[in-house]
Structure 1
Amino acid sequence: MSFHDVRFPTTVSYGASGGPRFSTTVQVLNSGHEQRNINWAQARRDYSVDLSPSRGAEWTAILNFFHARRGRAYGFRLKDFSDFRMPRQTIGTGNGVQTEFQIFKRYVDEDLPAAPYDRLLNKIAPGTVHLYLSGSEQASGWSVDATSGILSLELPPAEAVDISLACEFDVPVRFDTDLLQAVIPGPDVHHWQSIKLVEIRL
């Protein structure tokens, strides 16, 4: 899959609306009862971005970004201001052998007996990661691949060592249109359609 490791302008994404979408098939039986089937194991997020009116450098930045992505052809990073931080949480336990761990964010329903939801994080924001082994922060001896979300340690943590981590992250998305349509009502003023962005699976 073609992906450009660049972030959509945050001055625009700050005003985006959207969030996680699941896919559930609901069949209503003759009795009135329902059968529900979960089609996706992981949610897929979609967003609507609106920048109207826009002027000068702001419009130019969007225009350049859209051309560089060739419309829907290439994915990119989006900072979702409604959910971009992962507070410190456990992502694994040492066994004396394993040195690589996939970063994920766990959503827990504390009031109901529902299973936790683990969201894989592939696009980590560089420079935001803090790693802890059994509660002690580690300044060295590890690295994170910001494009895949893989934590790599130089030495395998010993048996039962708690591996916890805090970070910020982006969402891999693409434009959901090949047309950037705008109305120009006056000099250097652009009214453009709300553009949709959809999360892509990596």
Structure 2
Amino acid sequence: MSFHDVRFPTRISYGAVGGPRFSTTVQILNSGFEQRNINWAQARREYSFDISPSRGEDWTTVLNFFHARRGRAYGFRLKDFSDFELAEQSIGTGDNSTTEFQIFKRYIDDDELAPPYDRELKKIVADTVEVSVDGTPLASGWSVDETTGILTFDVAPVTDADIAVACEFDVPVRFDTDLMQAAIPGPDIHHWQSVKLVEIRI
């Protein structure tokens, strides 16, 4: 198992800097024009933050967390405070036979110059999910796998029924280093700067 289903302490990660990164190869032609190639269909998020200064219990928490993940070996959850909520959004349409639907978030270009960008959400936060079918909230008759983002109905929604979900979600990440390069400028004072996390595909 290369993923531990635990969240990095939010009181420490709050203030992290980062967001989605795409991969594009840019080739400059002899004419001076550019040819651009999209390498990744999906973005990969990257973050960095400083644990500076950290004292007592907070530092022990970070130290224990880093050891438990064995550096880069195991992934974990991160709350991205810039993008952690899915407002009520349609994720599918019933066909009277399908019972499982992948939760995703859709990003829409306001200028309509590009097609919508769909991001699968696979790390759902417990007890935050709301489900509705054709605008009617459902309190039961469904379940969500919080580790895969799969919504499962007990009975398949009828044909053409609109299935909508609202929830909170985390990002699956790992440390981008095997070395905890901490400085200790004084008694019970610790600095670990430019801690880097990268999103992992699961």
Give the TM-score category using the shorter length: over 0.9
Map of 2:55 onto structure 1:
55
Map of 1:16 onto structure 2:
16
Work out whether 1:77 is the aligned partner of 2:77.
yes
Which SS does the other structure have where 1:137 is aligned? strand
**1:131-175 superposed Cα distances (whole Å, 9 cap, x missing partner):** 000000000000000000000000000010000000000000000
Which SS does the other structure have where 1:111 is aligned? coil
Map of 1:178 onto structure 2:
178
**1:153-199 superposed Cα distances (whole Å, 9 cap, x missing partner):** 00000010000000000000000000111111111111112210000
Greater CA drift, 189-198 or 134-143: 189-198
Q: Shift in Å at residue 110 of structure 1?
A: 1.4
Q: Shift in Å at residue 32 of structure 1?
A: 1.2
Q: Shift in Å at residue 60 of structure 1?
A: 0.6
2:183 maps to a residue whose letter is: V
Map of 2:113 onto structure 1:
113
**1:33-81 superposed Cα distances (whole Å, 9 cap, x missing partner):** 1111000000000000211111111111000000000000100000000
Map of 2:38 onto structure 1:
38
Note the 1:42-191 alignment, pairs <5 A. 42-191=42-191
Q: TM-score, normalised by structure 2?
A: 0.98
State how far apart, in whole Å, the 2-side matches of 1:160 and 1:112 are.
25
Q: Shift in Å at residue 102 of structure 1?
A: 0.4
State how far apart, in whole Å, the 2-side matches of 1:85 and 1:119 are.
12
1:103 maps to a residue whose letter is: I
State how far apart, in whole Å, the 1-side matches of 2:159 and 2:110 are.
29
Gaps of 5+ in 1: none
Which SS does the other structure have where 2:143 is aligned? strand
Q: TM-score, normalised by structure 1?
A: 0.98
**1:71-105 superposed Cα distances (whole Å, 9 cap, x missing partner):** 00100000000000000000000000000000000
2:70 maps to a residue whose letter is: R
The CA RMSD measured in Å over matched residues stands at 0.8
Gaps of 5+ in 2: none
Which SS does the other structure have where 1:63 is aligned? helix
Which SS does the other structure have where 2:51 is aligned? coil
Aligned residues: 202
Greater CA drift, 121-130 or 105-114: 105-114
1:194 maps to a residue whose letter is: S
State how far apart, in whole Å, the 2-side matches of 1:25 and 1:114 are.
19
Map of 2:194 onto structure 1:
194
